[in-house]
Structure 1
Amino acid sequence: MSQSNHKDDSCCATKASQHSHEHNHNHEGGEEHDHDHGGDPSAFKTYLPAIVTLAMLLIGIAFDNIFKLEAFQVIRPYWYIVAYLPVGVPVLKEVWETFKAKDFFTEFSLMSIATIGAFAIGEYPEGVTVMLFYTIGELFQMAAVNRAKRNISALLDVRADVASVLRNGRYETIKPEGVEIGETIQIKAGEKIPLDGEMLSDGSSFNTAALTGESKPKTIAKGGSVLAGMLNLDKVIEIKVTKLFADSALSRILEMVQNATTRKAKTELFIRKFAKVYTPIVFFLALALVAIPFLILGKDYHFQTWLYRSLVFLVISCPCALVISIPLGYFGGIGAASAHGILFKGSNFLDLITKLNTVIMDKTGTLTKGVFRVQKVESAIDKEEFLSLLTALEAKSTHPIAKAIVEYAGEKEIYPAEHIEEISGMGLKGSVNGKQVLAGNAKLLSKFNISFDSKIADIEESIVVVAVNGAYTGYVLVADEIKEDAAEAIKQLQLNGVQDVVMLSGDKTSIVKKVAGMLGINSYFGDLLPEDKVAKLEEIKKDKTRVVAFVGDGINDTPVLAISDIGIAMGAMGSDAAIETADVVIQTDQPSKIATAIKIGKATKNVVVQNIVLAFAVKALVLILGAGGLATMWEAVFADVGVALFAILNAVRIQKMKF
């Protein structure tokens, strides 16, 4: 273990973090790992030292207490020393490493002093038992970490190892990292998609569970977006690559999850700091427990008795249960969330979401599907010409409404569009076939002093108003659908402690009002520019009692996601910028998952608090008994390793909870 690791942690949590790092690093290198260790010879080697020590300890105790052979008494010290070595030597090596890093008060040093001291006063079985149980605790911890990581590690297994790319008229099999943007790749039925791309074939069905947690197959037609990690179910398809391997949706998700453990919750940070102060204090208290009675008792002082009590005190006071179980609890919460398609970018957000009392939500793509369909076209000029001019401009936009218009226009000839300018929160301006075209909302035409039919303002649905060469030309009416779980999402948020749900949208206030009424949202604001959303959020945040989350999916939502206490992005349909800026990503695009995230956060916090209370209560009781000579080394082992095991098992519980 590196010295730098010891500077960060004072005990076995360091091992866990190092193990985690190695695990991730190996996967990134493309190696295959059996997470269950089934049939893995290295797994047996991991447990072998503890097995050897346990066997020798049991044999020694049997010779001591059952057979009582005198011959055994001759070799007794050496027998227990040999039994101690398999589990003791690795810990003594850790002590040496920490000492080299000038970190003298760690769990390793406490355990070593306690066990060597037990040997010094002839308490051989106790010395071996303390180190054996400590090692068993480490093994339990490692198994628990692996279990907590399985939901996350499952994501790694969906990455395709190879890509079949079209080069020089034939398909070559290469690593996905070697494929360039714009190249064509072929995916057979039953194969995983190696890179993000655009569907060139007529269409196919895909299993998207690895990315979204959604088991229902998704059909993607020609021109649709296909993401790395999806499983092709139907037939041989071809895809044009739109992103490099490192920039794919799946790679970003993996990076987010793997980096999640670097952002620590306040409780976790406090326990780390506490352990660094606590460990040297208990070491000097143990010394005092040997020295002070000598000053008080004088001739009645019995060194061996007080040294034994001091060693018992050291074993009891070891902060193992706290420093293992608390990070493990948060890690378990992150793993449980990822199994539900919710990605937390740090355990600090898992903690903060439990305090959430205000949720501000975008409308389009968050509460609605963001899949628009053209319902009506009104034009003062030839309809074909009108659609050609409009489509040329909208083809340059990624907005869902623009995509709906382009899809509606179909194979109609698209004129080249030039000098395109996006006017934030209003629409687009550009030159099409020698004509100046404006396409957007009514504000856009007002900005350029273009008069239009006043009845447009009364239309509740979303419309795109068009002007050609400074004259109003017509409009296109489009409609969006509310997500199936949107109403239930609002209800669940209110049941989970969210007092205020606010909807913000750049859409018309009349539409926003209609959607809010259907979902049971009392507070809503429409006709907002991106800067207006920021202003509204800042106004809400002036109330310091509020813990505010913003939920959005578009590029224009990134400023609000950044300044909210918790930014939550819809990951399946959301823009790259929104996903990168957010603190929590909902991979299923279901707003109801926000309440699930809150439930997981609360369950994680409950487990962490339970572990803290359990560890302190048991240790305090046994410390008092140990100082008074009423607790032996066996009780000390229970107070340390026993409580640690209970805490680990409690942390693992998060993985089995239903949310």
Structure 2
Amino acid sequence: MNKHITHPHPPVYDESGNLICCTQEEKIDAHTPPQIAPREETHQEGDGHDHSHGHSHEGGLGWKAYAPALISLVLLLSGLAMEHLLSLEFFTGWIKIVWYTFAYIPVGFPVIKEAWEALRKGEVFTEFFLMSIATIGAFAIGEYPEGVAVMLFYAVGELFQTAAVKRAKNNIKALLDVRPNIASVLRNGNYETVDPETVQIGETIQVKVGEKIPLDGVLLSEKAVLNTAALTGESKPQNVLRSEKLMAGSINLDGVVELKVEKLFNDSSIARILDLVQNATARKSKTELLIRRLAKIYTPIVVYLAIAICFLPYFFVADYVFTDWLYRALIFLVISCPCALVISIPLGYFGGLGAASRNGLLFKGATYLDQLTKVNTLVMDKTGTVTKGVFKIKDIVVDGQFDEGQFMNLLMAIEAKSTHPIAKAIMEYSSDNSLAEATNIREIAGKGLTGEVAGKAMAVGNKKLMEQFDIAIPAKADNIVESIVLVGIDGSFAGYVTIADELKEDAKTTIQELRKTGIQHLIMLSGDKDSITQKVATELGIKSAKGGLLPEDKLNEVENIKQDPSRVVAFVGDGINDAPVLAASDVGIAMGGLGSDVAIETADVIIQTDQPSKIVTGIKIGKSTQRIIWQNIILAFGVKIIVLILGAGGLATMWEAVFADVGVALLAILNAVRLQRMKWNH
């Protein structure tokens, strides 16, 4: 777990614009001076101890953080009252200077200290340096209240920034604060309470009502009702039946349940999600990196312009007064602080990532949030992506010599010996009679099974198996598109069962909504036979589809699409065979509920709910994030340029400068925070 901030310093960037010398959390908090971010002790999340030390658990800051600003505010207002309202005679000269100096120190000293430490490291053009020079300069020319006010408003602005950042981070952490602390594991005939990290694969654990499931596993009990909101964003309770999978972090809502552990704690769903979310901000978007680079260039330029404003008029203005032009230069410096951009843009992306997490979408970086909005070609797998990946009996057709019950009992007796998904679907048929024992079972590779049941010779499989035993099949059975199980009994055709995979409930609406978002090309690629793939594609309204593809065939198809430079390709899949295509596409999207670990590790975006409609949600969140960030950029640059011009011309005072810096920063932050409150239809 990364450390919380202890001694924040001015941001230091490498040549690529990435923050260095920071922990993961400092990457967004690096602009926060000490009085704004009270010390937090380094600790492991979820250790059960209170580390708050005076600040709120809700993401707000404690009273200690606000104390310096409150002291300065009281002293400033008292000074202004004595000077202007009461017009006290003694409040002049050194008394006035000392009073405003005491008002300045609580908010000014920490910033000056940070500016000095930055200078020692060779970092000159930081916001701390700019604010220090501007306010000390105001004192030098006798503008004491304005010097205090500028630093006070800057401190208040930083308090709001820090609170907004904390709220953004805590919104995500609240969703993921479900990491279980204990596990009740069956050992030596008794249940022992242990650390989940000590539980091994294959062990049985028990979960009581209201407890969190500590590790991924398979349900041993008859059924379970789970709250999976923290993992999937879905508030609706999930019903799980025996032998189905359960995800760590889900909350048991009904009865005591037992499960068999399938993954170690560090490989569980919740551990994987925590890791992804915590590291998401490390991969910055191009917009964020561009603004950081611009800030590095823009700030020194403004500093040199401020120097020019102060001294150059001496050579051109007849009635040049140094203090007047110094005041204009100081205003210029205050306005030049790029904090509105530098903090609100990362905060905007953090808000977007948080909103996505709450909606069951995990982005492995802000760059993919941006990239998803540019996708114009979506390639999708079929099974497990737009279909449920669960086979069910669609039709049972019997040739007359048996009734349906007798026919299915004979068929199930043979299929009971198979582990094939189709066999499992057949075994779900509800039968009132006990199954006869099948003997002499033989599997013929690529064809099916043979054996004997109740003295009858059985052949169960595909057309090739029927041909091998010279069993004639009717033409209608030969033309069926779905997966079909043909049955021969004692050398004669006895009937067939068709097996079909169901479309997901939101599959059709997803295709319609994707077209509305601007995705022009929808393509389906599947390893299932082409006839089934074409049928599903037609049902969904997808015009381009190919079936019967091996993993390398899918990869070749996507690489061929990418030959067109105008195409930005996203691929959606869930299986191990989809991993190469997920890696090759511009944006790889994996189904995180039923999807394979390999696909999830390879993908850039993970859909925790296995709902394809979440792709639309992700695009909407990405577009909203981009829109808010560009609003902030235009707002910050626009207001700053206007006030810079007014300041250079002597038409703006320090108060306008404060608005151009702190006011715009606050507006940008409030705009970015909107992302955390927006709701998207699924």
TM-score interval (norm. to shorter)? 0.7 to 0.9
Q: Matches of residues 87-126 of structure 1 in structure 2 within 5 Å?
A: 87-126=107-146
Q: 2:28 aligns with which of 9, 13, 16?
A: 16
Secondary structure at the counterpart of residue 246 of structure 1: helix
Structure 1 residue 2: Cα displacement: 6.2
| Residue from 556, 575, 578 that aligns with 1:554 | 575
Amino acid in structure 1 at the alignment position of 2:198: G
Q: Residue 6 of structure 1 contacts residue 14 of structure 1 at CA under 8 Å; is this kept in 2? A: no
1:387: which partner in 2?
415
Cα 1:305–1:523 shift into 2, 3 Å: same
Which residue is 1:432 aligned to? Answer: none
Q: Contact 2:55–2:62 at 8 Å: present in 1 too? A: no
Superposition map of 1:173-572 within 5 A:
173-297=193-317, 300-375=319-394, 383=411, 386-391=414-419, 394=420, 401=422, 404=425, 458-463=479-484, 477-572=498-593
For 2:91, which of 72, 91, 100 is the aligned residue? 72
Residues 209, 461 of structure 1: alpha-carbon distance in 2 compared, 3 angstrom cutoff: same
Equivalent AA in structure 1 for residue 357 of structure 2: S
> Residues of 1 paired with 2:60 and 2:174: CA distance?
22
SS in structure 2 at match of 1:243: coil
CA distance in 2, matches of 1:561, 1:23: 40
Bigger mean CA deviation after superposition, 208-217 or 449-458: 449-458
Q: For 1:340 and 1:315, how far apart are their aligned partners in 2?
A: 40
Code of the residue aligned with 2:145 in structure 1: it is: P
Tell me the distance in 2 between the aligned counterparts of 1:346 and 1:452.
58
Give the counterpart letter for 1:390 in structure 2. S
Identity of aligned residues (%): 59
Q: Distance in 2 between matches of 1:548 and 1:24?
A: 42
Counterpart in the other structure of 1:139: 159
Corresponding letter in the other structure for 2:71: V
TM-score by length of structure 1 reads 0.87
Give me the whole-angstrom Cα distance separating, in 1, the residues matched to 2:278 and 2:41: 10
Structure 2: segments with no counterpart, 5+ residues: 1-6, 399-406, 450-458
Q: Call closer, same or farther: CA 1:477–1:126 in 2, change over 3 Å.
A: same
Gaps of 5+ in 1: 395-399, 430-437
Show the counterpart of 1:151: 171
Q: Give the whole-Å Cα distance in 2 for the aligned partners of 1:451 and 1:97.
A: 89
The answer to whether the 8 A contact 2:29-2:165 is kept is no
Conservation of the 8 A alpha-carbon contact between 2:212 and 2:251: yes
8 Å contact kept, 2:59–2:170:
no
Distance 2:249 2:470 in 1: 50
**Number of the residue aligned with 1:48:** 67
Q: Please provide the CA RMSD for this pair.
A: 3.8
Q: Distance in 2 between matches of 1:522 and 1:486?
A: 15
Q: Distance in 2 between matches of 1:168 and 1:533?
A: 50
Deviation at 1:42, TM superposition (A): 6.8
Contact 2:314 2:320 in 1 (8 A): yes
- Report the more deviating stretch, 195-204 or 612-621: 195-204
1:434 maps to: none
Query: Cα deviation per residue 1:468-511 (whole Å; 9 max; x = unaligned)?
Result: xxxx9999742111111111111111111111111111112222
Cα 1:133/1:451, change in 2 over 3 Å:
farther
Q: Which amino acid is the alignment partner of residue 361 of structure 1?
A: M
Alignment match, 1:619:
640
Which residue identity is paired with 2:12?
Answer: H
Native 8 Å contact 2:10 2:118 kept in 1: no
Per the alignment, do residues 368 and 5 of structure 1 end up closer, same or farther by CA in structure 2, a change over 3 Å counting?
Answer: same
Verify the 8 A CA contact 1:192 1:232 in the aligned structure 2.
yes
For the residue of structure 1 that corresponds to 2:388, the secondary structure is coil
Cα distance change of structure 1 residues 9 and 578 upon mapping to structure 2, 3 Å threshold: closer
Taking a change above 3 Å as real, the CA distance of residues 487 and 144 of structure 1, as seen in their structure-2 partners, is same
Aligned residue identity for 1:589? D
8 Å contact 2:176–2:231 — kept in the other structure?
A: no
**Amino acid aligned to 2:569:** V
Q: Can you list the C-alpha shifts for 1:252-288, whole angstroms capped at 9, x where unaligned?
A: 0111111111111111000111111111211122112
Aligned residue number for residue 3 of structure 2: none
**How far apart are residue 428 of structure 1 and its match?**
11
CA distance in 2, matches of 1:329, 1:402: 50
CA contact (8 A) 1:387 1:409 kept: no
1:577-601 deviation per Cα after TM superposition (whole angstroms, max 9, x unaligned): 1111111111121111111111111
- AA aligned to 2:672 is A
* Superposed displacement of residue 157, structure 1: 2.0
Letter of the structure 2 residue corresponding to residue 82 of structure 1? F
Code of the residue aligned with 2:533 in structure 1: it is V
Residue 314 of structure 1 aligns to which amino acid in structure 2?
Answer: L
Equivalents in 1 of 2:165, 2:521: separation in Å? 37
For residues 40 and 496 of structure 1, the distance between their equivalents in structure 2, rounded to whole angstroms, comes to 34
- Structure 1 CA distance for aligned equivalents of residues 389 and 41 of structure 2: 38
Question: Which residue of structure 1 lines up, in the alignment, with residue 12 of structure 2?
Answer: 6
Pairwise CA distance, 1:296: 2.9
TM-score norm. by structure 2 comes to 0.84
Separation (CA, whole Å) in 1 of partners of 2:439 and 2:84: 96
Instruction: Compute the displacement of 1:146 (Å).
Output: 2.3
What SS is found at the alignment partner of 1:136?
A: helix
User: Which letter does structure 2 place at the counterpart of 1:106?
Assistant: T
CA contact (8 A) 1:10 1:106 kept: no
Counterpart residue type for residue 507 of structure 2: A
- Whichever residue aligns with residue 45 of structure 2, its letter is H
Indicate the residue corresponding to 2:401 in structure 1: none
CA contact (8 A) 1:5 1:14 kept: no
Considering fraction of residues, name the structure with more helix.
1
In structure 2, how many angstroms separate the alpha carbons of the residues matched to 1:601 and 1:66? 52
Classify 1:439/1:610 alpha carbon distance in 2 versus 1 (closer, same or farther; 3 Å). farther
Using the TM superposition, give the Cα deviation of residue 349 of structure 1 relative to its aligned residue in structure 2, in angstroms. Answer: 0.9
Distance in 1 (CA, whole Å) between partners of 2:112 and 2:155 is: 12
- 3-state DSSP of counterpart to 1:479: strand
Contact 2:178 2:230 in 1 (8 A): yes
Return the letter of the residue paired with 1:233. L
Please state if 1:61 is matched with 2:77: no
Q: Distance in 2 between matches of 1:284 and 1:440?
A: 82
- Report if aligned partners of 1:502, 1:524 keep a CA contact under 8 Å in 2: yes
The answer to whether the 8 A contact 1:372-1:478 is kept is: yes
Tell me: CA distance 1:83–1:545, structure 2 relative to 1, closer, same or farther (3 Å): same
CA distance in 2, matches of 1:39, 1:330: 21
Q: Which residue of 2 aligns with 1:27?
A: 45
Cα contact 1:360–1:502 (8 A) shared by 2: yes
Which structure 2 residues correspond to residues 583-622 of structure 1 after superposition, within 5 A?
583-622=604-643
Aligned residues: 632
